[in-house]
Amino acid sequence: MLAGMTPDEALQQLLDGNRRFSTGEPRHPHQEASHRQHLASGQHPFAVIVGCADSRVPPEIVFDLGLGDLFVVRSAGNIVDEAIIGSIEYAVHEFETPLIVVLGHESCGAVKAALSAVTEEEHTIGHIGAVVEAIVPAARRAIHHSGDWVDHAVRGNIEMVAATLRSSEPIITERVRRGSLKVLGARYDLDDGVVEVFDY
């Protein structure tokens, strides 16, 4: 990470990398052996990505970055719980990472399951239910809108998770208040590879 990188500079790094990836001109930076050896003594990621576990949305590839650039936490539906928030706080506190991006994506299976639970009262098995229940509030709001309910719910879920993180006391909220940290939402398009960033 560049020393003293601001949230906006970190975001620009992500957007530049996504532009390279989505236009088919990736550089695959920071993947050489010398960089790997350099990182053995410590890390300084410039962004935290809270992403979905979907195999089609690996953040290091989507943003054309490499070893040591991102602190990535992934779960189905890009949901958060106490352990995930603790992991995010660790990066913010320990490495002074200036940016958190909640990265959802088009046609998310976990979001579709939450919509089915709301509209068809479908029940899930095992621990999958915990994932679905976390997304249900966004699904309930989505069905009151016209158009693509899945996309409304994807976007609503991203916003809900970002709001949860922004209100996480004391580590995240304190840094957001003083401007050294931003928490943003983003949606990845599976078809064209473009990441759309939302500011709230």
* Token pair 């590839």: residue: 61
Secondary structure, 3-state, the chain:
CCCCCCHHHHHHHHHHHHHHHHCCCCCCCCCCHHHHHHHCCCCCCCEEEEEECCCCCCHHHHCCCCCCCEEEEEEHHHCCCHHHHHHHHHHHHHHCCCEEEEEEECCCHHHHHHHHHHHCCCCCCCCHHHHHHHHHHHHHHHCCCCCCHHHHHHHHHHHHHHHHHHCCCCHHHHHHHHCCCEEEEEEECCCCCCEEEECC
* Strand stretches in 19-115, DSSP E: 47-52, 70-75, 99-105
Buried b (16+ CB within 10 A) or exposed e, 107-130: ebebbbbbbebbeeeeebeeeeee
Domains and CATH numbers, the chain: 7-198 (3.40.1050.10)
What pLDDT score was predicted for residue 174?
96
Task: Give the pLDDT mean for 32-54.
Answer: 93
Indicate if the pLDDT at residue 3 is higher than 80: no
Q: What is the mean pLDDT of the chain?
A: 94
What pLDDT score was predicted for residue 39?
87
68 sits in the region (left: phi over 0; alpha: psi -120 to 50; else beta) called left
pLDDT tier, 1 (very low <50, low <70, confident <90, very high otherwise): very low
What pLDDT score was predicted for residue 128?
94
pLDDT digits (tens, 9 = 90+) for 151-177: 999 999 999 999 999 999 999 999 999
What pLDDT score was predicted for residue 167?
96
Indicate if the pLDDT at residue 16 is higher than 70: yes
Indicate if the pLDDT at residue 135 is higher than 70: yes
